[in-house]
Amino acid sequence: MTEDTPLEAVLTADTDRALSPVPLMQLTTGFWAFKTLAAAHELDLFSRLSGTPGTTAGRLAEALTIEERPAEMLLTGCAALGLLEKVDGRYVNSPLAEEFLVRGKPYYFGGFVQMLDQRLYPGWGRLTEAIRTNRPTTWDPDRQSSLFDGEDPQLLAVFWEAMHSLSTFTARSLGQAIDLSGARRLLDVGGGSAAFDIELCRLYPDLTATVYELPRVADIAAAKVKEAGLAKRIETVTGDFFADSALPGGHDTILLSMIMHDWGRGPVPRDYPEMLGRTAQRWSDNHRRAAGQRRANRPSGRRTDEPQHADRDRGPQLHTRGVRRVAGRPGLPGRAHGLVRGGGRERCRDRPQAVTSRWPRR
């Protein structure tokens, strides 16, 4: 290319150099990386390596009773993905794998990896079918009322382990984004495996929590709470917030996490706004009664043993998560605002991943 080369030719040459199939290669081979991670997790590679000086292809082959060639490929693949490091000829966990892929660690993420691999990966293999039929591929709506109905218990256990893994990190972000230092008793409506309650109680030492869930899920939550060593601060109560006429009382904060996203486009189920409004009004009434009782029982001129926040007639707080954007659909925050305002709310603020609101003073 010389000074006499026409500008049009220069631009054409630059465009040709800029265009490359590399992005397409990255897209089409993306499953290689995931399946390498999934296979290593299924073979318990990272937990095996934790706390050890590392392994070689030969030693791993012997431990797994496999040939040395696939053992070497697995180790090399994980190292290329940043999951392993090679030190003095031995493969050891990278900090990322040691923190999140070793079973028993507080922020173990393996449940989510397992769920994607065993439950969602086969369904995504039928994506074209789902597009053509507008039907789910991971459960049958003709036989099941939801993906939980009649599901294999082992797969359900995988699902809840995955949700726990994922929710742990969003719970930590929520606890940092929303100040709960004045809260003492949290009600987690539809609280799943109690991941939010565990993490919020870790962040706020004065907080206690109640997980309000269906019986089969409450058992999972109780086990997770016990495992976290927080059984004295987090309790489980069984129920159905769509069907029950009353919610567990005695709390000053309500959390609705990853509930509203189930209804995105189209009309909201008839009983859902009623549930939110009923929740809001019941808690407002309960708080006013409790505040009046505290004032009536307070000895003149004496301080009580109650936390200072209990003397503020500010009403309970309500936080809803999972309403910012769902499957690429914006607009749910506005709908959440309308629903909670229907319950007598005076103020509603939209934050990343959460909508917070407060009952008015009366």
Catalytic machinery residues = 261
Which residue, 262, 280, 210, 277, is CA-closest to 238?
210
- The percent of the chain in helix, strand and coil, each rounded to the nearest 5, is 50, 15, 40
Angle between helices 68-80 and 57-64 (to 10 degrees): 120
Instruction: State phi, psi for 62 to the nearest 5 degrees.
Output: -65, -40
Do the Cβ atoms of 300 and 316 come closer than 8 Å? no
**118 vs 156: CA distance, rounded Å:** 11
For residues 203, 209, 214 and 217, what is the CA-based torsion angle, rounded to 10 degrees? 40
The contacts of residue 13 (CB under 8 Å, 6+ apart) are 1
The tokens of 93 are what? Answer: 């966990």
With beta carbons less than 8 A apart as the criterion, state whether 318 and 356 touch: yes
Cα separations (Å) of 340 from 102, 179, 192, 287?
41, 20, 22, 17
Distance CA 362, CA 257 (A): 28
Element (H, E) at 320: strand 317-321
Residue by residue, what is the 3-state secondary structure of 236-288? EEECCCCCCCCCCCCCCEEEEECCHHHCCCCCCCCHHHHHHHHHHHHHHHHHH
